[in-house]
Amino acid sequence: MKTNNPNFGSILETGSSESEQFAQLDTAFLHNLAERRDEHTFFESWLSLQAGLLKIALNGVVVVVDDIEQDLRPAAYWPPTTVPGTDLIKIAESAIRQKCGVVQRSGETNTGVQSIAYPILIDGDVAGVVGFNVKCGTDASLQSALRQLQWGAVWLENHTREKQFSQVHSAASRLSTTLDLIAVSLEYDDFGPAASATLTEIAAQLRCERASFGVLRFQHIKILAMSHTAVFSKRMNMVRAISRAMEEAVDQERIIVTPANDENIAVTRCHEELSRRFGFGGSIVTIPLYDEKKIYGALTLEYVPDKELFPDDVELVTALGATIGRILENKRKENRWLLSKMFVSITCQLHRLFGPGFLGRKIAVCILLAMVTFFSIATSPFRVTTDAILEGRIQRILVAPYDGFIADAPIRAGDYVQKGHILARLDDRDLQLELEAWSSRRKQYLAERKRAIAEHDLAQANVFLSQIDEADVQLELIHEKLKRADIVAPFDGVVLSGDLTQSLGRAVQIGDTLFQVAPLESYRVFLKIDERDIQEIEIGQSGSILLNALPHQPIALTVQKISSVTLSEDGINLFRVEAFLNETPTSIRPGMEGVAKITIREQKLIWIWSRGFLNWVRVQYWKWWL
């Protein structure tokens, strides 16, 4: 029997009998199983013991799940120098799929070799598989061999469970330690006390003589905190040695452990110098600290001489660097001066802009610069936009000529009328009666005057003459009122206001507004200019108006008059500006509203768009600072 265990060779070299030698080998295998110092030795010893119990085994293999890759890999062979064939691999895969023991005859029918395999199950999940090629035998012998393999697999199951439990317990212990240290780091708001207390606690819990924290500045490490030390000189040789050790790990971008083992091959000259000149004779671990895939500092731990460093300890230090290091770094950044924060932020943004990566930001900045350049060079007509109302150039108001009553009103607001068209008629019956009364009175005065003349009473004749003149005036006044009883249109146009169709018989007094009429061939535009734009408006400037009723037909206009009268709408002061239309479409009507634009001059686009905001800033600056 061949084996790679050095103890086995010494056993076989003794002069004991073959049975005694195998008994001593079994004892050695059991000793390896109990100690479990090395997984390979454990599986190899188990295979050797299992092969001895089966008695018909030719070769075997143990396949387990890799902890890192999470795939199946061979853990040990028996005999150690023999690699099983494809038949054993196939039956092992079959046992994994079926999750039960499998017996299968070899594909070569004349070889007399059969294969058995049994999976290693942990809570229903496959953790591995063990398989043997055995000599061809009876069904009873194969069944016995499979049963023996099943019983022996309990060792592997227990070993796997203990390994998983050990990993979980180790992870829980690391997590508990990390949480305790995080709690210590969060007790203080300022970086100095937090870093000193945290590093001191790390040194106490991890049995370190000294723990140091440094940050990277201009390609060099600056030590900011040490355990058991609140104040330390920046020129101390020890501090410079620790700084160089941190730089050694940062330059190599890897964890450095000294004394180095076979798995951790790195340049450790600075660490060895630190250990030789200022160390305590124990191991030293330096962890580079990363933030957004960038190294910002390092954490160095110097252990006591009797502290044996295991991989779990290195994992714990790595976890502390990823958590505690970030907390301390954030506290340090928060405690910087405001100007320093601004400088670092600007530097970071410039690095992202001109350094590698961040392609989207670079494209956005290029587009923004192109837009600013374009709008700084490109020009466009600067226009003042405002609300506008269309009015008739002449608006005639028709009022009641005397006190009376509405007799007829066939026209209402919105109707088109021609010159002389009757809009309304007042009741003239009272005027007719008054006309008859004054006519009769005049005849009477005339007869009385003739009699006075006949009697040569000249004074009385003159009195009657005065009364006759009064009657003539009254008759003329009544005739004039009768002429005005019909309210007629003064010109061709449209009735803007006035609806008396529902007011027949209503009394009106002299001067009451009855109708408002405007011509159709002459219009003016009333513009409401914001006070912030009124200084840009001048008489003679041209523009256009787009009426809401005619959204597809802009109409040209010209500014005619700038009034000093202001209006107030929604808290905004507006100036009244009048303009006339350069053309008069037949479809427009007085009272239409729309939006007007007055063309001022050519200006750069960036000035046009930023003008309002810049004016507001100037006003606010004047208001609060000057």
Q: Tell me the two tokens of residue 68.
A: 């890192």
458-492 pLDDT, tens digit each = 888 888 888 888 888 888 888 887 777 777 777 77
The answer to whether the bond into 6 is cis (omega within 30° of 0) is no
Domain boundary among 111, 135, 167: 167
Sign of CA dihedral 46, 48, 49, 52: positive
Asked whether residue 368 is domain-assigned, the answer is no
Q: Please, what's the b/e burial string for 316-354 (b: 16 or more CB within 10 A of its CB; e: otherwise)?
A: bbbbbbeebbebbbebbeeeeeeeeeeeeeeeeeeeeee
CATH number for the domain that contains residue 237: 3.30.450.40
Contact call for residues 400 and 426 (beta carbons, < 8 A): yes
Q: Tell me the two tokens of residue 418.
A: 């021609």
Same domain, 14 and 100: yes
Asked whether residue 190 is domain-assigned, the answer is yes
Instruction: Give the span between the Cα atoms of 413 and 406, in whole angstroms.
Output: 16
Contact call for residues 212 and 226 (beta carbons, < 8 A): yes
Asked whether residue 1 is domain-assigned, the answer is no
Contact call for residues 396 and 517 (beta carbons, < 8 A): yes
What's the whole-number mean pLDDT along residues 121-141?
77
Max CA distance (Å), the chain: 198
User: What percent of the chain lies above the pLDDT cut of 70?
Assistant: 89
Asked whether residue 379 is domain-assigned, the answer is no
Is 157 exposed, middle or buried (CB count within 10 Å of its CB: 0-12, 13-18, 19+)? middle
Residue 2 has pLDDT above 60, yes or no: no
Is 367 exposed, middle or buried (CB count within 10 Å of its CB: 0-12, 13-18, 19+)? exposed
| 442 alpha carbon, distance to own chain's centre | 98
- pLDDT for 6 equals 39
406-458 pLDDT, tens digit each = 777 777 776 777 787 777 778 778 778 888 888 888 888 888 888 888 888 88
What's the whole-number mean pLDDT along residues 379-397?
84
List of residues 6+ apart from 255 with CB closer than 8 A? 249, 264, 285, 286, 287, 288, 314, 317, 318
From residue 566, give the alpha-carbon distance in Å to each of 202, 531, 573.
77, 9, 6
Same domain, 144 and 72: yes
Instruction: Give the span between the Cα atoms of 506 and 512, in whole angstroms.
Output: 12
Same domain, 327 and 213: yes
From residue 472, give the alpha-carbon distance in Å to each of 139, 434, 440, 450, 615.
156, 13, 11, 17, 72
Same domain, 11 and 133: yes
- pLDDT for 23 equals 45
Domain boundary among 285, 304, 335: 335
152-172 pLDDT, tens digit each = 777 777 777 777 777 777 777
Asked whether residue 427 is domain-assigned, the answer is yes
Backbone phi, then psi, for 484, in 5-degree steps? -90, 5
Kindly indicate the confidence band of residue 9, based on its pLDDT and cuts at 50, 70 and 90. Answer: very low
Average pLDDT value over all residues in the chain: 80
- pLDDT for 586 equals 78
Instruction: Give the span between the Cα atoms of 390 and 550, in whole angstroms.
Output: 12
Asked whether residue 372 is domain-assigned, the answer is no
Instruction: Give the span between the Cα atoms of 104 and 590, in whole angstroms.
Output: 105
User: What percent of the chain lies above the pLDDT cut of 90?
Assistant: 9
- pLDDT for 597 equals 93
Asked whether residue 52 is domain-assigned, the answer is yes
What's the whole-number mean pLDDT along residues 164-186?
79
- pLDDT for 105 equals 62
CATH number for the domain that contains residue 563: 2.40.30.170
270-313 pLDDT, tens digit each = 888 888 888 777 889 999 999 877 898 999 999 888 877 877 78
Instruction: Give the span between the Cα atoms of 148 and 42, in whole angstroms.
Output: 18
Could you tell me the residue range of the domain that residue 447 belongs to?
A: 396-516
